[in-house]
Chain A
Amino acid sequence: MKAYDLIVIGGGPAGMAAAIAAKENGCENILILERGPMLGGILNQCIHNGFGLHTFHEELTGPEYAARYAEKIYNQRIDYWLNTTVIHMDREKRVTVVNANEGLQILQAKAIILAMGCRERPRGALNIPGSRPAGIFSAGTAQRIINIDGYMVGHSVVILGSGDIGLIMARRMILDGAKVRVVAELLPYSSGLKRNIVQCLDDFTIPLKFRYTAIKIHGDKRLTGVTLARMDEMNKPIPGTEEFYECDTLLLSVGLVPENELSNDAGITLDPRTCGPVVNDSFETDAEGIFVCGNALHVHDLVDYVSQEAETAGKNAARFIQGMAIREKGKKVTLCGSDGVRYTVPQFLNSNRMDEKLTIRFRVGDVYHNAFVSVYFNDQRVLHRKKPILTPGEMEMIELRKDQVNRFTDLESITVKIEKE
């Protein structure tokens, strides 16, 4: 059995940043396992710009952003296997992999970083009634076909859901000669970034209809149209609001789900809100020595945050391997969101072990104007910060200092809330 200090599952932005950070923190024997034919993951199909503003202070395309990290991987001689699928993982940190050259192998690691990314929610999960013709794609699948495979997916498009990939694909389809009839969003707001709505829809006068969704799919062989309708408060179609849109393509951008089949294999506890593992401030799951970062942990809006988070996971994995991680001592403090905060990551921290600063990331469940983000230590409010706008599409962050946490005796839980005043 081949043995490694650290195995990183996934060679996208999270996996690469984590591996580099682990190496920089003294971990030598690292292997990245990547399913695709090159490092970079989904960034390779994101040929639009806007990546790296926080990390590199310039606007890069997805492949450019990926290339900066890939170069470090090459320069630091971090080992990676491409075209390799992990088919099983257990709590003892044994990883079963398959690829054409090495065949089927079981690898042993001292620590594992999970960086599998996420998948798109498919049509089936929406349960849209109607037939099953060709021409229905999840937005990311269409993006891959157009940007990597070099084919078009259709000529006349309806987009369901206003997630970022859907917005990006609206513009992409127009630039490749298609007509984009409409973007329909079930919610009363977009789950995508504001800048994407402006640059991808408004600039091309593509209508965005809120509270609308598809109620019927038409067509036998290839899609011929979609019926949209306005939804009431119970998410039932309002009679009389039905509109038929003729189209040959329907793109779905209706949410991303962290990929955690392997986490399930290892019996790792998942958070039903994030669909990613429950983690502590080291990004360690409840399986000792198995860390997680990136979209496998929770779905991010910006890749820059993925890289930041992954660096922390990589550093902590290196510490764990070197036996430097403080394990038993210190108190376990629960972190959670309530009153409009859907979730927090991490879900708990170790008050003794934690770094000098801890970034808590969270998302809100609705749009808030001029509301306050508050942090409670037990029942006591310790932070109260006004925000002009909070939306579900944009990830929010707050920082806690270690001394702040340690000063507070009997700290059991930290709660993040949205408050009107």
Chain B
Amino acid sequence: MYDAIIIGAGISGASLAFELAKYKLHIAVIEKGSDVCAGTSRGNSATVHSGHDAAYGTNKAIYNVLGNAMFDTLCSDLKVPFFRNGTIIFAINDADMEEVRRLKHNADLNRVPGVEVLDREGLLKIENYFGPEVIGGLYAPTGGMVCPYSLVIALCEQAYRNHVDFFLNSKVERIQKTKSGFFVTTPKKNFETKFVFNCAGTHADEINNLVSSNKITITPRKGEHIILDKKLSPYVRTTISQTPLNLPGGGHTKGMGIMPSVDKTIILGCGAHDVTDKDDTATTSIGLEEITSYFEKNWRHLPISEKIPKFPRNMIINAFGGLRPHATTDDFIIGESEDVKGFFNMAGIESPGLTAAPAIAQKIVQEAADKYHIEKNDFFVSIRDYEKPFREMDEDERRQAVMNNKEYGEIVCRCELVTKADIIAAIHAPLGASTVNAVKMRTRAGMGRCQGGFCSPVVAKILAEELGIDLTEVTQSGEGSNIFFPKTESLSQRNSE
């Protein structure tokens, strides 16, 4: 019997697990993917939004600003890469400037700290260069960048260390209301619980509609991004976008932006297209074309164009798609269901959801604790034990590390400088990696220029060794995504045909 079941281990579920673990509760997180952070939270622009553009008075505005302020402490406690590089929304004509002033007014209402309207001179104090047509813009200094999957993994790991149970590969099939709470059915295991927290991302409507008569609808809205090579990182500092007027996807996005990831690659994106398949994170030719043609056309405005005059198509190293769980109400749906006691929603957490989630989780948990008189857990540990990976060490630390453990001397992924020791640590960590993609998310092995060409077979071998399984059982991302087959099998197949 659990006190609380959290459905979904994205940023919402992870934030809730972390917050709930601060109370004396027996908690489980149920995730249908083979790893945490398998859906929406993995494919986004990694941006910690300042909150300047969320419409005043909405949940999005309130929790965006509250969430943003939590990131320094949260990321420092959890050892998650995060920095505040500021956001600039530039204008090239008077209509744009009008929009900039509107955004400033909105930012003030939302109580976003430090937002300024700048003329061209002002912008040039922040970045050395802007294209000649740029006349001014909005500057929001609290905008930042985070590694979204590192954050989700760290939150889950820390929840796990504080005794939250995790069940992966577990899709919720049914939820029944019982006298004392709920009965949750998954293919492998059933759960009894007092409270249910719905953090099911694009599927949150299905979960809600299983128990509540207040039906909600979540539309998956696709956003695609392109990643550019690290070599460009010296030229991209502030997150920069154009005013959202006349942009592809117009009102649905904060506009096409260029931003520096915490890993020094450059992220470009993104557009917004409603789709029907709630798990379809595939990139599309239209979506990718939208990004490349936008940046080809508007590259000249950006500070980077001083040194790199044309959009460098040959610097594209990858692209990814992600889904925003868009609620038809156009706002976050958060809190206890009106008609079902003990059932809490954290739904419709689309952009700026990554920024807002820690604050929303805090609010939901606080309300639940007050209402149901839940006691604090005095043993909660908020600071994450974290072994610095080889690539983050300085020379002396590296020398010491290899002396203590020879496996640090075996470089597996040379693009990202990941050692065998780092990979083994990721496999044996709490909620450790059990697939090639899970190792990739935790260590960056395979995320560099060669995209795993050299290291992915080695990573698979280490997984097989450490998990005590055959190489043919190692998967890329869970059941059905096997990578290797025995040679004899193909031979016998041929003979039988």
Name A residues whose Cβ lies closer than 8 Å to a Cβ of B: 35, 83, 85, 87, 96, 98-104, 119-120, 122-125, 127, 129-135, 138, 140-141, 144-146, 149-155, 176-178, 215-217, 220-222, 237, 261, 264
Contact = CB atoms under 8 A, between A and B. Distances in A.
B40 to A, nearest CB: 15
B235 to A, nearest CB: 16
Nearest to B491: A177
A149 B457 contact: yes
Nearest to A123: B451
A129 B288 contact: yes
Interface string B422-462: 00000000000000000000000000011111101100010
Contacts of B395: 96, 104
Contacts of B212: none
Nearest to B493: A177
Interface in B463-497: 471-472, 475-487, 489-491, 493-494
A119 B493 contact: no
A104 B402 contact: yes
A44 to B, nearest CB: 14
B484 A151 contact: yes
B484 A153 contact: yes
Given A87-B417, A176-B487, 18 more contacts: A35-B411, A87-B411, A98-B408, A99-B410, A100-B402, A101-B406, A104-B402, A119-B450, A124-B451, A125-B314, A129-B288, A129-B319, A134-B475, A134-B482, A141-B452, A151-B485, A151-B487, A152-B486
B355 interface: no
Contact of A100 (B231, B410, B485): B410
The 9 closest A-B pairs by CB, nearest first: A124-B318, A177-B490, A122-B451, A221-B480, A100-B409, A134-B476, A85-B411, A221-B481, A151-B484
A102 B410 CA distance: 11
Contact of B227 (A96, A124, A222): A124
Interface string B279-304: 11111110110000000000000000
16 contacts: A98-B409, A99-B410, A100-B410, A104-B395, A120-B450, A124-B316, A125-B316, A129-B287, A135-B483, A141-B453, A149-B457, A149-B471, A151-B472, A152-B484, A152-B487, A261-B414
Nearest to A87: B417
Interface of B: 226-227, 231, 279-285, 287-288, 314, 316-320, 395, 398-399, 402-403, 406-411, 414-415, 417, 449-454, 456-457, 461, 471-472, 475-487, 489-491, 493-494
B481 A133 contact: yes
Contacts, number: 150
Contacts of B415: 261
- Which residue of B398, B479, B483, B491 has the most chain A CB atoms within 10 A of its CB atom? B483
Nearest to A272: B314
> Which DSSP category, helix, strand, loop or mixed, fits chain A's interface?
mixed
A120 B453 contact: yes
A98 B405 CA distance: 12
Contacts of B402: 98, 100, 103-104
Contacts of B475: 134, 221
Nearest to A85: B411
A204 B480 CA distance: 31
A130 B486 contact: no
A100 B407 CA distance: 6
Contacts of A138: 453
Contact of A104 (B285, B314, B398, B477): B398
A127 B480 contact: no
Contacts of A146: 487
A99 B227 CA distance: 31
B226 A153 contact: no
Contacts of A220: 279, 480
A35 B455 CA distance: 12
B453 A100 contact: no
A154 B480 contact: no
Contacts of A104: 395, 398-399, 402, 409
B481 A222 contact: yes
A339 B146 CA distance: 48
A176 B399 CA distance: 44
Contact of B317 (A125, A135, A150, A178): A125
A191 to B, nearest CB: 17
B421 to A, nearest CB: 10
A176 B281 contact: no
A124 B449 CA distance: 9
Nearest to B417: A87
A220 B415 CA distance: 27
A215 B489 contact: no
A129 B226 CA distance: 11
A130 B318 contact: no
Contacts of A155: 485, 490, 493
Contacts of A103: 399, 402-403, 409
A99 B288 CA distance: 41
Contacts of B403: 103
A377 to B, nearest CB: 33
A226 B295 CA distance: 28
Given A119-B450, A127-B226, A217 B484 contact: no
